[in-house]
Amino acid sequence: MSFPISTFSRQVQNIKIFGKDFLADSFTNIPQSIIEKTNRILYKQKTHPLSLLKNKLITFLTFKDFQLFENFIPIVTPKSNFDDLLIPPAHISRTRTDSFFINSSHLLRTHTTAHYADILTQQHQGNFVIVGDVYRRDTVDKRHYPVFHQMDIVRFFPADSSDSFIVQSLQSDIVSLLNAVFGRPIDFRWTAAYFPFTEASLEIEIRHNNEWIELLGCGILRQEILSAGAGITNKRAYAFGLGLERLAMILLDIQDIRMFWSEDERFLGQYSDGMLKKFTPFSIFPQSWRDVSFWIKENSNFHPNDFYQLVREIGCDLIQDVSLVRFPFIIHFVD
Ligand code: DAH
């Protein structure tokens, strides 16, 4: 395939997104296909597996006194997505190669953590959960898609709580949550991690099909985010953030992340009863039914297998299923 180079250097003058107009500039790199994705809001489609998983996670959080924020639109500023979270100026996620910029002053959030400042600066001092779609330029493979979904959880503690108490609570809250979601004790391990906005930073990995998979990042929220950023000095907090697709793929045995965007009934129909269950794979080809009828001369030595073989020859491997409705059904022609 070849594309004119203008496809890549195209300068959109005006960008309309969520009913707002933005002027493009030299930072703009958001394609129309991504703008369209912002309208899907999968995590709020009642029986979509990502929405069901969101509800399940929320139900099983060990603490119940939190406020849910799931209505933030995904347009954020570099300040809230990066600066307020102490993400260094040279961090790769600030570049046009890694993130989708509407222009130099607005981008699509790269994580739901981008809304901490929105919440904290309102002097909100209670526990909270944020859910949303997030956007990243990334590799093309079955585990990556430029849009995915995250949940961020923040739980507060009194100012005199020790690091070890907060980390212990964090670890036990996460393990209880995952055990409840999986419906069995998970096989897990903790690894040290680095996030600019947490001080003791950790990751949990779970064993799935004999492979260790990173599931979520967490840590004690840096005190400057609470104090300098939001004037909160009488509290400490832990935070953790997880990708919904990563968890859903393990939980439901979904092999390809693109499946979550499918509008095929054979996918959505599997969850229409609101139950999160293992995914039953189906053909990658669109479903299409054909009725075929024909008659056979009496006493011919036709066998249904003759017809099946004909189907194999003509339809190659595209035909999944042939059901025989009635055979033999004898019609006598009157001379
Ligand atoms: N925002 C991080 C990311 O997208 C994930 C994350 C890590 C969230 C640690 C947290 C946290 O709340 O404590 O990679």
Q: Please give the full DSSP string across 250-269, using - where no structure is assigned.
A: HHHT---GGGGG---HHHHG
Please report the pLDDT score of residue 13 as a whole number: 74
- CA gap 181, 179 in Å, rounded: 6
Quote the distance between the C-alpha of residue 161 and its chain's center.
Answer: 34
Q: Residue 55: how many CA atoms within 13 Å on its side-chain side? A: 13
Rg value, the chain, Cα: 26
Instruction: Give residue 199 CA to ligand 1 midpoint distance, Å.
Output: 12
Burial class (CB in 10 A: 0-12, 13-18, 19+), 171: middle
Who lines ligand 1 at CB under 6 A? 111, 113, 152, 195, 198, 217-219, 239-241
Question: Which of 99, 131, 104 minimizes the C-alpha distance to 115?
Answer: 131
- Interstrand relation of 198-208 and 211-221 (parallel, antiparallel or unpaired): antiparallel
Q: Do residues 204 and 218 lie in contact, with contact meaning Cβ atoms separated by under 8 Å?
A: yes
Question: How far does the centroid of ligand 1 lie from the alpha carbon of residue 221, in Å?
Answer: 10
Q: Give me the sign of the Cα torsion angle 216, 172, 156, 127.
A: positive
Q: How far is the CA of 150 from the centre of ligand 1 (A)?
A: 9
How far apart are alpha carbons 115 and 94 in whole angstroms?
A: 16
Based on DSSP, count helices (H) and strands (E) in the chain, helices before strands. Answer: 10, 12
**CA of residue 250 to ligand 1 center, whole Å:** 19
Mutate which of 69, 107, 197 to test ligand 1's pocket (most atoms within 8 Å of Cβ)? 197
| pLDDT of amino acid 325 | 82
Alpha carbon of 134 to ligand 1 centroid (Å): 12
Say what the pTM is.
0.88
| Ligand 1 atom with least separation from CA of 242 | 5
- Give me the tens of pLDDT residue by residue for the chain, a chain 335 residues long: 454 444 444 545 789 999 999 999 999 999 999 999 999 999 999 999 999 999 999 999 999 999 999 999 999 999 999 999 999 999 999 999 999 999 999 999 999 999 999 999 887 789 999 999 999 999 999 999 999 999 999 999 999 999 999 999 999 999 999 999 999 999 999 999 999 999 999 999 999 999 999 999 999 999 999 988 788 899 999 999 999 999 999 999 999 999 999 999 999 999 999 999 999 999 888 888 888 888 888 788 888 898 899 888 998 888 888 888 876 666 666 76
